[in-house]
């Protein structure tokens, strides 16, 4: 491979001026750094809150000497977060030259005049051609009067994938994971627990696809361990799926996290296990006075629901999962949950079952629903059940209005399936928080 396969861009004030002629730098949220991005980049970029939390998970002492490499850098947000928080030089590779120029401008914009930024570069070219990239990088440093030949301390890869697909496969991702890892494997510094690699993958990868990633890692980095991480931002879905390899891995095979804007709300590690779902054959089997808890789906997706359950529910407490799919996995239990932060951090809502309703709330019955829950001293009811999305917001507004001024506490309504010989029926359960 020839040196000409990559072209270096040095982050500079000139590059900053170029970017400002095209775009105005913007921050996604108040208090966050500003970045140059077109609309396509904005859709694909990792939010700064996630990027900085992720960088904060890494112990700088676990990394060997060298630069942090992002082999498909895009806007550079994740790379910049790693570089700033871990205080390491940054090397980004981006196939699209226009995006690469904006990535370099973002590096300059975020540099704050730091001296060590003189080793930062963005290379235009293929992230899977390690030899060419390193030759180009070192040549660029030498041409700038820097005698250092820094090795790669850590590799990050977040390959592009189709946006609208319900499921993703490894074959759809660019650049190809296997090619990139194989190409860079001999260039990575080896830390105390092997090379430091972070793969940012689609949360829509199924178990078969994840097993294929396991196979690639086993072949490329024999003897290294890795940890799969499922991350949620609390929106009822898995937002990020990543693999932390070698020096970045923990002692567990799986980890799930729920994060806020600036910090980790809760995190659990362990080994994956399956969940068994219980069903109801009649309304009478749904016990009034018991507790119902909706958890973040990241627990189920990661297979760590049993690890959470063991912390959440006491040994003498009866409990069963009554839904393990979709956006609202649910557990019924006879006693209240533990108040442990790692337990409560994954709870969307929890409350005591106080009412069963045989029909869904509708526009013409919403005043009746409000009157009946008011008698249970519920002053604010959140509809967490499957309703027609066109009328759901209207129903929520109406019941909030109807309950205004009522004395009481918060509550929520969920739907549960009752399995009967003549078909499944939904029961709408009201819980008092």
What are the strands of the beta sheet with 409-420, ordered from one edge?
Answer: 319-323, 330-333, 291-295, 347-357, 423-432, 409-420, 378-383
For position 41, what pLDDT does the model report? 87
Least confident of 8-17, 161-170, 326-335, 379-388: 161-170
Q: Would 405 be classed as within a structural domain?
A: yes
For 125-149, what is the mean pLDDT? 95
What pLDDT was estimated at residue 293? 97
Residue 315: per-residue pLDDT: 85
pLDDT given at position 3 = 44
From 151, 210, 161, select the one nearest 43 (Cα to Cα).
Answer: 161
Pick from 360, 365, 328, 327: nearest CA to 428: 360
Residue 130 in any domain: the answer is yes
Position 236 in a domain: no
Are residues 192 and 289 both part of a single domain? no
Confidence (pTM): 0.93
- Give yes or no: residues 297 and 199 share one domain: no
Judged against a pLDDT cut of 80, whether residue 194 lies above it is answered with yes
Q: What is the CA radius of gyration of the chain?
A: 25
Under the banding of pLDDT at 50, 70 and 90, the label for residue 44 is confident
Residues of the chain above pLDDT 70, percent = 97
DSSP secondary structure, 75-128, as one string: T-HHHHHHHHHHT--EEEEESSHHHHHHHHHHHHHT-TT-GGGGG-EEEES-TT
Give, as one character, the DSSP assignment of residue 48: H
pLDDT reading at 165 higher than 70:
no
Confidence of residue 114 (pLDDT cuts 50, 70, 90): low
Residue 4 pLDDT: 65
- Residue 60 counted as domain residue: yes
> What's the pLDDT band for 166 if we cut at 50, 70, 90?
low
Determine, yes or no, domain membership for 190.
Answer: yes
Identify which has the larger pLDDT, 62 or 157.
157
Instruction: Identify the pLDDT of residue 348.
Output: 96
How far, in Å, CA of 75 to CA of 92, rounded?
10
Determine the angle formed by the axes of helices 77-86 and 97-109, rounding to 10 degrees. Answer: 30
> Does position 399 have pLDDT exceeding 90, yes or no?
yes
For the beta carbon of residue 66, count every other beta carbon within 10 angstroms: 20
Average pLDDT over residues 174-199: 94
What pLDDT score was predicted for residue 164?
66
Looking at residue 256, its pLDDT comes to 97
State the residue for tokens 């990394």.
Answer: 63
Please indicate, yes or no, whether residues 179 and 48 belong to a single structural domain of this protein.
Answer: yes
What sign has the CA pseudo-torsion 296, 385, 340, 48? positive
Region 356-368: what's the mean pLDDT?
Answer: 95
> Is 30 among the domain residues?
yes
From the number of C-beta atoms within 10 Å of its C-beta (0-12, 13-18, 19+), residue 112 rates as exposed
The torsion angles phi and psi of 188, rounded to 5 degrees, stand at: -85, 135
**Whether 213 and 297 share a structural domain:** no
294 and 190, same structural domain?
no
**Least trusted range by pLDDT, from 84-88, 148-152, 176-180, 283-287:** 283-287
One domain for residues 209 and 63: yes
Q: What is the mean pLDDT of residues 183-200?
A: 93
State the average pLDDT over residues 40-62. Answer: 92
* Of 113-127, 254-268, 398-412, the least confident: 113-127
- 71 and 202 within one domain: yes
> Which among 175, 204, 224 is the end of a domain?
224
Residue 115 confidence (pLDDT) = 54
**Pair 65, 179 in one domain:** yes
Structure confidence at residue 192 (pLDDT): 77
Q: How far apart (Å, rounded) are the C-alpha atoms in residues 23 and 381?
A: 44
Q: Out of 224, 246, 269, pick the residue that ends a domain.
A: 224
Which residue range(s) make up the domain with 423?
283-432
Q: In Å, how far are 56, 254, 269 from 248, measured between CA atoms?
A: 12, 13, 14
Kindly report the average pLDDT of the chain as a whole number: 93
Q: Would you say residue 396 lies in a domain?
A: yes
Provide the CATH number for the domain around residue 190: 3.40.50.150
pLDDT at 2 over 60: no
158 and 23 in a common domain:
yes
Q: Which of 199, 224, 249 is where one domain is finished?
A: 224
- Asked if residue 215 and residue 288 are part of one domain, the reply reads no
User: Quick one: 214 and 304 in the same domain?
Assistant: no
For residue 175, cis peptide bond before it (omega within 30 degrees of 0): yes
Does the pLDDT at position 357 exceed 80? Answer: yes
For the chain, how many structural domains are there in total?
2
Co-location of 49 and 171 in the same domain: yes
For residue 245, tell me if it sits in a domain. Answer: no
What is the structure's pLDDT at 1? Answer: 40
pLDDT at 249 over 60: yes
């Amino acid at each position: 491979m020839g040196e000409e396969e990559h072209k270096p861009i040095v982050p500079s004030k000139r590059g900053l001026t170029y970017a400002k002629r095209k775009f105005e730098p913007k921050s996604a949220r108040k208090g966050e750094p500003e970045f140059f991005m077109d609309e396509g980049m904005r859709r694909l970029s990792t939010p700064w809150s996630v990027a900085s939390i992720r960088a904060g998970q890494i112990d700088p002492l676990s990394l060997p000497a060298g630069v942090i490499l992002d082999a498909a850098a895009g806007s550079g947000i994740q790379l910049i977060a790693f570089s700033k928080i871990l205080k390491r030089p940054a090397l980004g590779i981006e196939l699209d030259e226009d995006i690469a120029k904006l990535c370099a401008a973002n590096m300059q914009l975020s540099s704050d005049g730091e001296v060590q930024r003189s080793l930062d570069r963005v290379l235009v070219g293929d992230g899977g051609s390690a030899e060419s990239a390193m030759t180009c990088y070192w040549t660029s440093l030498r041409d700038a009067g820097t005698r250092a030949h820094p090795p790669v301390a850590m590799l990050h890869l977040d390959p592009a994938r189709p946006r609208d697909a319900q499921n993703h496969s490894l074959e759809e991702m660019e650049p190809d994971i296997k090619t990139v890892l194989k190409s860079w494997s001999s260039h990575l510094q080896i830390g105390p627990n092997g090379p430091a690699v972070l793969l940012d993958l689609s949360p829509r990868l199924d178990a078969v696809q994840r097993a294929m990633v396991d196979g690639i890692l086993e072949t490329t980095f024999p003897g290294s361990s890795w940890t799969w991480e499922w991350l949620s931002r609390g929106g009822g879905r898995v937002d990020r799926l990543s693999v932390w390899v070698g020096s970045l891995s923990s002692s567990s095979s799986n980890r799930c996290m729920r994060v806020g804007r600036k910090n980790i709300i809760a995190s659990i590690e362990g080994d994956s296990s399956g969940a068994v779902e219980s069903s109801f054959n009649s309304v009478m089997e749904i016990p009034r006075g018991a507790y119902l808890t909706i958890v973040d789906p990241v627990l189920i997706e990661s297979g760590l629901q049993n690890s959470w359950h063991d912390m959440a529910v006491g040994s003498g407490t009866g409990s069963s999962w009554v839904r393990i799919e979709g956006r609202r996995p649910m557990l019924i239990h006879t006693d209240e949950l533990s108040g442990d932060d790692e337990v409560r951090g994954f709870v969307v809502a929890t409350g005591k079952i106080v009412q069963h309703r045989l029909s869904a709330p509708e526009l013409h019955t919403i005043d009746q629903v409000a009157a009946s829950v008011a008698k249970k001293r519920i002053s604010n009811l959140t509809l967490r059940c499957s309703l027609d999305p066109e009328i759901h917001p209207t129903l929520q507004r109406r019941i909030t209005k109807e309950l205004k001024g009522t004395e009481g506490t918060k509550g929520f309504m969920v739907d549960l399936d009752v399995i009967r010989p003549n078909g499944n029926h939904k029961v709408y359960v009201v819980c008092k928080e």
